[in-house]
Amino acid sequence: MREFTEQFFDLLLDLDANWRVTTVRSNYKDREVFIDIEHVGKQACCPKTFDLCGVYDLAPKRKWRHLDILDYKTYLVCRLPRVKNKQGKVITVKPPWGGSGVSFSSQFEEKVIDLLQATKNQTKTALLINCSFSMVNRIMHNSVERGMERRPKELAFTNLSIDEKSFKRNHHYVTVLSTPLSGVVIDVCENRTKQACSKLLSEVLKDKADNVQTVSVDMWKAYLESISDVLPNAKIVHDRFHLVKYLNQAMDKVRRREVKQHQELKNSRYALLKNQENLTEKQRIKFESIRAANYQVSKAWQIRENFKDTFHSNNMEEAVKLFCHWGAYVLGSNIKEMIKVAKMFNNHLKGVCNAMVESFSNAMAERLNGKIQEIKTVARGYRTFKNFRSAILFFHGGLQLKPLNLR
């Protein structure tokens, strides 16, 4: 008769009558527990055909990392049965605690996924669950791959957003394809070339390209050309987030130029760039003094605000009129940095005016951009594209990451 301990672990692991715990061994020196399991049934289900087949033989002994017991690293140890199916192929049976091709149980994998979502850091997760970084990294990749496979094949997109994100120095970029309304990342590709973007769009959309009505994008030439080739009927919308970003960059150039003559402009960058409702009391005082002064940066700030006011145009005709009025105001300011941006906007007039008419808010794009930057900062950067892509999709792909419990 088996000991109480083995029977207890049968219940704890939720094993059915075909499996049983034979021994529980401890290694006190290395703080490890090994739970030996054997298959006692004469038949088993073939994981390929799902037929009930007779057990052919036993595979070599393997171990799976499981949830720790009293801070002892815990492993499940078993020789999995192999069956010979009707096609004559010998297949290893999948155990009830997880996949046959991985070195960890499903429960352990779920715990790692939960911790990784909470910490957003693979190193911290490895320390918390007492395993190697490589195991956490492998679980992240596996869960993303599983989540991508679970996405409905019939999924169609009417609105898309394309953006770039740097992940290495020396101008190394990735292209992020997402939905502008939900902020869910659809997929990521390496580089921001026309070829890379075209391939990404083609692979994601396949035969559903005609469903896409709008693409929110910045003015990067390669992106515009790939959209023109793959989505010729889609409306290009130069998203508000990037339009305001261009104006912010120009305004800051004005500030840096003027700070040499006006010491008051020192440490005023965020007082000018932030939305007024987000200013601290100290920033608000500085902002009001700068706005009251007759500096060029004060006029540049007003130019930016006037442009943001055009985002509520009712139709294209009104949008064009408002843009022309705004452009004339910019030219009259004689601020070279802002004039340069206005001319760039004029070269992409249709996409800019579409942004003025379309109801898309830039809040989601801004939020997603910040979230991707956060996972980059927390991880202190990513060395490979594969790791960066998996991290973006893990945290922001809206995927079903966890293994399914089929029992």
Give the pLDDT confidence of 216-242 residue by residue, as tens digits: 999 999 999 999 999 999 999 998 888
Amino acid at 36: D
Residue 88 lies in a domain: yes
Distance in angstroms (rounded) separating the CA atoms of residues 92 and 84: 9
Domain-located, residue 370? no
Q: What is the pLDDT of residues 348-393, one digit of tens each?
A: 999 999 999 987 665 677 788 889 988 888 877 788 999 999 999 9
Cβ burial 42-65 (10 Å sphere, 16+ → b, else e): eebbbeeeeeebebeeeeeeeebb
Higher pLDDT, residue 183 or 68: 68
| Residue 127 domain flag | no
Kindly report, residue by residue over 271-293, the tens digit of the pLDDT. Answer: 888 888 888 888 888 888 888 88
Angle 363-365-367 from CA coordinates, rounded to 5°: 65
| Domain presence at residue 140 | no
Single out the residue in 78, 103, 128 at which a domain terminates: 103
pLDDT digits (tens, 9 = 90+) for 97-118: 987 678 999 999 999 999 999 9
336 found inside a domain: yes
Residue that finishes a domain, picked among 357, 382, 397: 357
Residue 202 lies in a domain: no
The C-alpha atoms of residue 366 and residue 359 are separated, in whole angstroms, by 15
Q: Looking at the 3D structure of the chain, how many domains does it have? A: 2
CA pair distance 2, 369, nearest whole angstrom: 58
**In this predicted model, what pLDDT tens digit does every residue of 196-216 receive, in sequence order?**
999 999 999 988 899 999 999
Residue 100, SS3 per DSSP: coil
Facing residues of 158 across strands? none
Residue 128, helix vs strand vs coil = helix
Instruction: Tell me what the pLDDT averaged over the chain comes to.
Output: 90
Decide if 253 is inside a domain: yes
Asked whether residue 365 is assigned to any structural domain, the reply reads no
Query: Which residues constitute the domain of residue 247?
Result: 240-357
* Residue at a domain's end among 46, 78, 103: 103
Is the per-residue pLDDT at 254 higher than 70?
Answer: yes
Phi, psi of 151 (to 5 degrees): -60, 135
Please, are residues 342 and 250 in contact by the beta-carbon 8 Å criterion? no
pTM of the model: 0.85
d(CA 205, CA 211): 9
Sheet holding 214-217, edge to edge: 185-190, 172-178, 159-168, 214-217, 235-238
For residue 102, the Cα-to-chain-centroid distance in whole angstroms is 24
